[in-house]
Amino acid sequence: MKIEIDEGKCVAAGHCVMVAAEVFDQRDEDGVVVLLDPAPPEHLHEQVREAALLCPANAILSGGRDSAS
C-alpha cells in the first residue's frame, strides 16, 4: 500500500490521526496532516483505509482504494 495526501484539501479535522497515529500526524502550526509513513506495513492498512473513509476532505489516497483510477 502506498499513501498520498493532498495537503491542499486537508481541513485539519484530525480524524486520520485519531484512527492511525502511526501513519498520520498534524502540523503544530495549522493542523494540516503530515504523512509519517507513505508505505505503512500491512498491519496498519485497515487503519489507513478507515482514515481515508473518515477524512471529510477526501485528502487521503491509498493504493488499495484508488489504484484502478
Question: Binding ligand SF4 by CB under 6 A: which of 3, 16, 20, 61?
Answer: 16
Residue with smaller CB distance to ligand SF4, 41 or 56: 56
Q: Name the pairing type of β-strands 3-5 and 24-26.
A: unpaired
**By CB under 6 A, residue 61 contacts ligand SF4:** no
The answer to the question of residue 35 lying near ligand SF4 (CB under 6 A) is no
Contacts of 53 (CB under 8 A, 6+ apart): none
Q: Which stretch binds ligand SF4 (CB under 6 A): 8-16, 42-50, 61-69?
A: 8-16
d(CA 40, CA 56): 22
Query: Is there binding between residue 57 and ligand SF4 (CB under 6 A)?
Result: yes
Strand partners, 24: 35
